[in-house]
Structure 1
């Protein structure tokens, strides 16, 4: 270790950056303005590549391609079985390029390379396989009409052209989570990856061409949220926008949709998830789950269990174990498999997290461990734990999106539930207890879309995922996600000798 960081991956050969242009109508092209922006390696702050900076004009071109592919192309007119064959081929190609995709996310976003190989990229491929299996299995219903002289049925049809705006914290998984069900439904799309992590999305675009998707079905426009993202949100020829990111930006997308063509929107937004540990829990296991729940992916995850509430009977024991485990948490190069935690995604996020840590100190929270940047190069931050956090503190109320844990003590089940719900967010929650009555009472009382009991981050392709309150308005994953990209058409006709004839 040097300056608190592991340097065991110093000799790792970095991935070749092959694709940096926009992908529109099946071709890689320069931005209309020919402008580019720098993609930065968060390990050292150095430039990885210059990537095309798409703007409104480029979004227009991409939407035109997607519109033509939807209105006149084969994709929405194919049988679900035929769409599934191409989607499965795409999954095959992703699996064949696991190392390269994982390396791109590591060098572009500071994500752990070995976790990318074992989890993120296989999960992305799994999303495409799951929805390939669903592509020929959604259908309408035959209706029992109240008028006996009428026959009616419904169709489920693709919603049209979709704009996907994806975040930087899980670039490959989020690409798949949004694109896969939209493809299965028969939609065409324009994808805007986050400007911090554009490289894997462009590689996926390359693989989509190899897989055989018709031109215009998948388009990728790299650029900034304030330009390319805003153009997607307000575009009159986009039928649906799917967005994952902050609640503030989600509101702007809702406003843009309302003032343009009233397009449908799916929002998966921020979180400040509670993690409740009850007296009957195993302290060591509970501390491990709480640590993973807060510090996984360097805290850059919307469901992070960053508000940890521990019942008073077990509080001291859990806190001691948390501090011990946090001090042994290895922060370093994402290409080093001995590390658990890489750099924050960019300088802006790095400085934002450090400012929250200073707020915690200044507002009177007790810093138990961490609290500092590591080294003088890159964007590394120590796992940080605050105790004596109160509900009026900034670190309690606001989503930090970094490795910062807030510890609080509670007495009764009722108090724990009240504390858990004391937030504008409602994305996820964790419960650690062996008492089934406690588990049932608390899980039914917490206002959140996902509850994990005696586990955390228990994502599954078949399990719907989404939030309550300011955490969003949709469900992704599972068959529920298909509904985001389908619309229902009702058809009615008179029977023979009906008075309607």
Structure 2
């Protein structure tokens, strides 16, 4: 098996304990590489390296313009290595090569964008109400950032953190998912080639308990940027709150795709199928609840069912494959458990609900549709993170809104209608960080993304995100030549 090592202070290192974790190729259902099984000692070393780099002249004295230049060099290198990185990611988590190659070719745009934004963050001179004082503000980096990423799209999710955080002047310790660390470890080779000083970006692999927990609680970490489940997010939030750390979290979802009877049904059916069956449903923004107006319910369900039935499953490296395996054994078991629970709840299977036997021997689950689902059922309330769609009928606009907002999540929502008055009403009232209208799963580097309620805190991408990696400093300068007044009275008047 191929071995990947941690990156600490610019050096490739095994874990201090010498232990390793195998990584599964989910298409072949066999281990293909190994990564370090690190612990708190490795975390200490990585945070120390990131802290030293943050304080160093090599990084700390760089101008914002110089940081932007490094980010643009990195973007060029990512573009040059897109195919190789995509192949590693496919091997590690089973995502389609066709999709991962699109992602890797688009990822450089985040680094170009934030590279250009790095020297556009301006402080200001305050028109203070005390004539003898000159007061101005500056924006400064926070320090060491812990970036903890999920296994479904490791490099895209990491980029959403690295690009603004590095543009702001921070340093990083990255903890990738133990299920898909290889692409991250290959990716960080590019930072040295781009000219980043050693220690600016570090990677420590391992489990959440052995690496994630000590990293989040480490006193040398100023901010935690996390993508993952809401349960883990809550645990991180409790630790971060106790340590008064800055926090950005992009968590799970149970996103509704709402189809009205005036919609273009062919386009809507394709959007719904994409929203839940693309990436085998393993996306935080998956449109896992389909809300359909009752007047078109049976016909529209038939359209979606026909599309789902025609999905080609197989080797994710085959460009004709439309759906690959689930990413790891734990997730495979979870999805099957959720399907079994839905059946025991009395949910009616309209399609699938079974495993898919394939010559590759991988972790395949057939596209699954449950019809006439109660919005209060476990299936409608719990994030499955697999190719499982819950279909729910509605009659009126108000009922559709109540159903759409009727979960603890609020990451994304889709609306399919030709009525623009309805679009604006729903866009305002949907409890969701993103609303897609007559489209789904669209993302861009300049568009903020994140959730409300249990779907997270803060936003990733867009201009505002860079300030989530910075803090304001206010500077007061007394220009007066007069003796000070009473030193025991605050200068308010």
TM-score over 0.5 for the pair: yes
2:413 corresponds to 1:429: yes
Are 1:183 and 2:169 an aligned pair? no
Counterpart of 2:42 (choices 34, 44, 58) is 58
Q: How does 1:330-349 map to 2 (within 5 A)?
A: 330-349=312-331
What residue in structure 1 maps to residue 186 of structure 2?
203
- Residue 354 of structure 1 corresponds to which residue in structure 2? 336
Is 1:215 matched up with 2:179? Answer: no
Give the TM-score normalised by the residue count of structure 1.
0.94
Indicate which of 33, 36, 59 corresponds to 1:49. Answer: 33
Instruction: Give 1:171's match in structure 2, choosing from 154, 159, 183.
Output: 154
In the alignment, the residues of structure 2 paired with residue 37 and residue 296 of structure 1 have an alpha-carbon distance, to the nearest angstrom, of 28
1:447 aligns with 2:424: no
Tell me the distance in 2 between the aligned counterparts of 1:277 and 1:145.
Answer: 53
Residue 439 of structure 1 and its aligned partner are, at CA, apart by 0.5
Q: By how many angstroms is 1:394 displaced? A: 1.1
Distance 1:435 1:112 in 2: 35
CA drift of 1:497 comes to 4.3
Q: Deviations over 1:88-140 (max 9, x none)?
A: 111111111111101011010001112111x2102222211111111111121
Q: Is the 8 A contact 1:494 1:500 kept in 2?
A: no
| CA deviations over 1:285-339 (Å, ceiling 9, x no partner) | 1111111111111100011111110111221221110010000011111001111
Specify the alignment match of 2:239 in structure 1.
256
Residues 498, 410 of structure 1: CA spacing in aligned structure 2 closer, same or farther, 3 A cutoff?
A: farther
Q: Runs of 5+ in structure 1 lacking a partner?
A: 1-15
**Is the contact between residue 375 and residue 392 of structure 2 (CA under 8 Å) also seen in structure 1?**
no
For 1:235, the equivalent position in structure 2 comes to 218
Q: How far off is 1:80 after superposition? A: 1.3
- Residues 141-160 of structure 1: matches in 2 within 5 Å? 141-160=124-143
Instruction: Map 1:3-402 onto structure 2 (within 5 A).
Output: 17=2, 20-117=4-101, 119-259=102-242, 261-375=243-357, 377-402=361-386
Distance 1:500 1:122, change over 3 A: farther
Alignment-derived partner of residue 491 in structure 2: none
Q: Check whether the contact 1:373–1:381 (CA below 8 A) recurs between aligned residues.
A: yes
Which residue of the partner structure matches residue 4 of structure 1? none
Question: Equivalent residue of 1:461, what SS?
Answer: coil
| Secondary structure, counterpart of 1:374 in structure 2 | coil
Following TM superposition, by how much is the alpha carbon of 1:174 offset from its aligned partner in structure 2, in angstroms?
A: 0.9
Query: 1:72 Cα shift?
Result: 2.4
Deviations 1:434-491 (A, max 9, x none): 1011101111111111111111112111111111111111110011210221000111
**Aligned residue pairs: how many?**
483
* 1:456 corresponds to 2:464: no
SS in 2 for 1:64: helix
Where has structure 1 moved over 6 Å in runs of 4 or more? none
Distance in 2, Cα, partners of 1:230 & 1:138: 33
**How far apart, CA to CA, are the structure 2 residues paired with 1:328 and 1:426?**
30
Moved more, 451-460 or 376-385: 376-385
Render the CA deviation track for 1:17-43: whole Å, top value 9, x for unaligned. Answer: 5x6011000010111000000011001
SS in 2 for 1:202: helix
How many angstroms apart in 2 are the aligned matches of 1:48 and 1:351? Answer: 20
**Alignment partner, residue 3 of structure 1:** none
User: 8 Å contact 1:123–1:173 — kept in the other structure?
Assistant: no
What are the superposed Cα offsets for residues 182-236 of structure 1, whole Å, 9 maximum, x if unpaired?
1100001100111111011111111111111101100011111111111111001
Contact 1:76 1:158 in 2 (8 A): no
Please identify, of 261-270 and 421-430, the stretch whose mean Cα deviation from structure 2 is larger: 261-270
Write the distance in 1 (CA, Å) between the matches of 2:484 and 2:43: 47
Q: CA RMSD in A?
A: 1.3
Q: Which moved more, 1:396-405 or 1:314-323?
A: 314-323
- What per-residue deviation string (whole Å, max 9, x for no partner) do you get for residues 371-411 of structure 1? 11111621011111110100232111100000000001101
Q: CA deviation at 1:498?
A: 6.2
C-alpha distance in structure 2 between counterparts of 1:54 and 1:206, whole Å:
19
The equivalent of 2:387 in structure 1 is 403
In structure 2, C-alpha distance between the alignment counterparts of 1:115 and 1:497, rounded to whole Å: 67
Q: 1:472, 1:106 → 2: CA distance?
A: 27
Secondary structure in structure 2 of the residue aligned to 1:345: coil
Q: Is the 8 A contact 1:128 1:180 kept in 2?
A: yes
Higher mean alpha-carbon deviation, 75-84 vs 423-432, is at: 75-84
Structure 1 residues 340-368: Cα deviation after superposition (integer angstroms, max 9, x where no partner): 11110111101110111111212111111
Normalized against structure 2, the TM-score is what? 0.96
2:465 corresponds to 1:466:
no
- Alignment partner, residue 490 of structure 2: none
Residues 118-164 of structure 1: CA deviation (Å, up to 9, x unaligned): x2102222211111111111121111112233221110000100000
Q: Give 3-state SS (helix, strand or coil) of 2:389's partner.
A: strand
Gaps in structure 2 of 5+ consecutive residues:
486-493
CA distance in 1, matches of 2:305, 2:272: 11
